[in-house]
Amino acid sequence: MTARIQPSILSADFVNMQAAVEAVGSADAVHVDVMDNHFVPNLTFGPEMVRRVQEVSTIPLDVHLMITDVDRWAPGYAELGAFSVTFHAEATSEPVALARRLRAIGARAGLAVKPGTDVTPYLDLLPEFDQLLVMTVEPGFGGQSFMADMMPKVATVRAAVRAAGLDVWVQVDGGITVDTIVRAAEAGADTFVAGSSVYGATDAAGAIAALRAAAAGHAH
Ligand code: DX5
Ligand code: ZN
């Protein structure tokens, strides 16, 4: 299994964003947390910031929308050229229609579930998506502790993906370190977002390599 590492610029220095993006060029994607202070109690950035990050990044952008009104906003991120656009299941009543719009524009479509959301009702929708994000913290802030009790949910998603013979990436986000990534990989995750453990390290490239090695050694 390939362990994909996606550093989150939420933990980067916002006034040195170009340097922050360049520092993680050895990763698989840059994870971009868009927050609107409605879906989550925090505010980050919007399309203009994502457009500029996209321009300076040599690796793809994985956009994680923690916003309401995704039907209005999500397609715009795909049109900017984001590699993947993930919206929350809790933020729309029409996830399939939105996923199809994102794919039609050319982006990978992602569906995210908060820790308190049962993933079971969404498993039938897996063919409509390219990745499913199991949140391992309550969305809104970096630097929180990994919720190990989400591992059964990760395993449920992995089993459903396997049973359906799909190539849907199973992503985790929140509290990922060289220790917790092992548990997430064992549960079935293959795509790992890491904010503070990458940007809090003195050597971001070294942190990315260490995360990738730790996950690869414990894959299913
Ligand atoms: C949290 C964000 C995460 C965050 C992760 O709501 O979705 O992407 O940046 O940060 P760490 O890795 O520090 O938990
Ligand atoms: Zn995120």
Domain residue ranges in the chain: 4-216
The ligand whose atoms approach the alpha carbon of 84 most closely is 2
Q: Which structure tokens are listed for 76?
A: 């715009």
The ligand whose atoms approach the alpha carbon of 198 most closely is 1
* Best probe residue, ligand 1, of 173, 180, 181, 197 (max atoms within 8 Å of C-beta): 173
Which pLDDT score, from 0 to 100, does residue 1 have? 64
Q: Is the pTM higher than 0.85?
A: yes
Which residues lie across from 161 on neighbouring strands?
none
- The segments of the chain whose pLDDT lies below 50 read none
Which pLDDT score, from 0 to 100, does residue 2 have? 81
* Residue 8: HSE in the Cβ half-sphere, 13 Å Cα cutoff: 27
Q: Which residues have any ligand 1 atom within 6 Å of their CB? A: 8, 10-11, 31, 33, 64, 137, 139-144, 173-176, 193-197
Q: Which residue has the tokens 């952008």?
A: 61
The CA-atom distances, in angstroms, between 58 and each of 27, 126, 159 are 10, 29, 33
* Best probe residue, ligand 1, of 30, 39, 137 (max atoms within 8 Å of C-beta): 137
Catalytically active residues, by annotation: 33, 173
Of 3.30.479.10, 3.40.1160.10, 3.40.50.300, 3.20.20.70, the CATH number of 4-216 is 3.20.20.70
List, edge to edge, every strand of the sheet that includes 30-35: 4-7, 191-194, 169-173, 131-135, 108-113, 84-88, 61-66, 30-35
- CA-proximal residue: ligand 1, atom 4 (nearest): 142
